[in-house]
Amino acid sequence: MNLDLTQGDIASLIKKLAIPSSIGFFFHTIYNVTDTYFAGLISTDALSALTLSFSIFFMMIALAGGMSEAATALVGNALGEKKKESAVHIALNSLAFALVLSFILSFIGILSTPFLISILGAEGEYLSLSLEYINIILYGSLFFVFSFFLNALLNAVGDTVSFRNILIFSSFLNIFLDYWFVLGGLGLEALGIKGISIATVLTEFLTALYLFYKLRKTPLLKGKFVFDIKVFKALLYQGFPPSINMIMMASGIFIMTYFITPFGKEVVAAFGIGMRIEQIVLMPTIGLNVAVLAIVSQNYGAKNYERIRQTIKVSLFYGASLSFLGLVLLLLFAQDMMHFFTNDVKVIYEGVIYLRVEAFIIFSFVLIFVYLALLQGLQKPAFIFYISIFRQIVAPILLLSLFSYLGLGLLWIWLGIAVIVSLSAVITWRYSIKKLKEVDNNVINNGYYSK
């Protein structure tokens, strides 16, 4: 697939890109939900350990996720400008960049993980379970990083279907592998939580292999690799803000986990399950992020500025509709969703409260997803750095530290996070509107509007 996103009906293009991507991300979340489910079969301690490990692992791979989005934007811009040779050159250097990045992240992760987990208060069996899971994941980080970059390059040519297909396959394979590795059978002894991480690395290896196969069928690998430090620098420049955004997201989870840990392992487990359920509800809206980035990137390169505005308008309409549906689902079925993962009464109770608070900020996440994708596509990613620091680091530390000092309960932590997300969405929306007006001024001054 090699879509020209500079022409055709905007609504149809968004559906064509967002729906496969959303389905793919949905099954990716089901993949994580499967891990959470089997950790729950082991023990509440295993559930809590998985939550602690997730915050660390997310920080380690967040940089790869942000840098891969830079590859989408740079290749998309080149394709929009009809510079196919340049697009191939950028794509090949992006894969070389991914290789270097994967080794750096593995090295840093393996060295820093024991210290980071200990900060969260893990000790004894709790610490042992966390390290048992995360160390295997970190050794396989090469496959995670390459999957990010391979999918990013496929997104740049309008292919979100391949990622969807492999994630569907992987999610079903992961169910089988988790069952086999965690519980044992067919000559294999039960591996416990270690089995979950082994299954994850194996399926991620297959994901990277399949995406590479699909990328070879596009024009992006039809060229000779020539190392170009300028492309590496461009990836760093374009990818640093979204990478920081994702790192800040991971850091935000780490900070939240730090503040809820004193409330007990059951609350940590409830938070871990709640995040998985929240991700399922948000999946349809995350597909909009992929669609907006791909469409805006190509049309900005082609100077089709009016199509950029149309893309944002249609995406927000879809996002609002999906947000309302998510609100209803979380308010009505939060308890049933929690009960699927655990029978621990306290875990279920705390998880339901978390989910019902989060239900009211789904559209705030939509605003953040859509407008940050817009800024990346316009090659104006610097704002992402500042809003990420505010939303994920500064505001949570200040507000949650105040709540802790005042001795306020757990509910105040969930409400505080909701306020921070909503305020961040408003700030992001206002800044992005300002940048769109600058594009309009450029149009008026230079007469770029496409008909």
Evaluate whether 180 touches 188 at the Cβ level (below 8 Å): yes
Which amino acid belongs to residue 21? S
How do residues 157-211 score in pLDDT, each as one tens digit?
888 788 878 888 988 999 999 989 988 877 788 888 888 889 989 999 999 999 9
256 has a pLDDT exceeding 90: no
Q: When comparing pLDDT for 223 and 422, which is higher?
A: 422
pLDDT at site 449: 42
Roughly how many angstroms between the first and final C-alpha of the chain, as a whole number? 26
Please list the residues that pair with 185 across neighbouring strands: 188
pLDDT of residue 243: 76
Reply yes or no on whether the pLDDT at 4 is more than 80. no
For the chain, what is the radius of gyration of the CA atoms? Answer: 21
In this predicted model, what pLDDT tens digit does every residue of 394-448 receive, in sequence order? 999 999 999 988 989 899 999 999 999 999 999 999 998 888 887 666 654 555 4
The tens digit of pLDDT for each residue in 23-69 reads 777 777 777 778 878 887 777 777 777 777 776 777 777 778 878 88
Provide the pLDDT for residue 48. 76
pLDDT of residue 418: 93
Identify the band that residue 450 occupies on the pLDDT scale cut at 50, 70 and 90: very low
79 phi-psi bin (left φ>0, alpha ψ -120 to 50, beta other):
alpha
- Tell me the pLDDT of the chain averaged across its residues: 84
Question: What is the CB-side half-sphere exposure of residue 13 using CA atoms within 13 A?
Answer: 27
Name the token pair of 359: 């239900």
pLDDT for the residue 448: 45
Q: Which of the residue ranges 114-123, 360-369, 441-450 would you say has the lowest mean pLDDT?
A: 441-450
Candidate ranges 129-138, 224-233, 395-404, 429-438; pick with highest mean pLDDT = 395-404
Predicted pLDDT at 354: 94
Res 104 pLDDT > 60: yes
Mean pLDDT lowest among 134-138, 260-264, 443-447: 443-447
Segment 307-351, tens digit of pLDDT: 888 888 899 999 999 999 999 999 999 999 998 888 888 989 999
- At 225 the pLDDT is 83
With a CB cutoff of 8 Å and minimum separation 6, the contacts of 279 are 29, 32
pLDDT of residue 373: 87
The per-residue pLDDT for 445 is 55
273-314 pLDDT, tens per residue? 888 888 888 877 888 888 888 888 888 877 788 888 888 889
Question: What are the backbone angles phi and psi of residue 5, rounded to the nearest 5°?
Answer: -90, 5
CA distance 152 to 386: 24
Please, is 286 exposed, middle or buried when counting C-beta atoms within 10 Å of its C-beta (0-12, 13-18, 19+)?
buried
* CB-CB contact of 69 with 294 (8 Å): no
Percent over 90 (pLDDT), the chain: 25
Residue-level pLDDT at 150: 94
- pLDDT of 287: 83
Mean pLDDT score, 252-279: 85
Q: How many residues does the chain have?
A: 451
Q: Given a cut of 80, is residue 21 above it in pLDDT?
A: no
What is the value of pTM for the model shown?
0.69
Q: What is the spatial distance between Cα 178 and Cα 80, in angstroms, rounded to a whole number? A: 43
Nearest 5°: phi and psi at 185?
A: 135, 165
Q: Which is nearest to 148 in space by CA: 158, 131, 161, 163?
A: 163
Choose the weakest-confidence range: 7-16, 119-128, 356-365, 429-438. 119-128
Contact 392, 334 (CB under 8 A): no
Helix axes 265-301, 345-358, angle to 10 degrees: 30
Mean pLDDT of 78-96: 87
> pLDDT value at position 420?
94
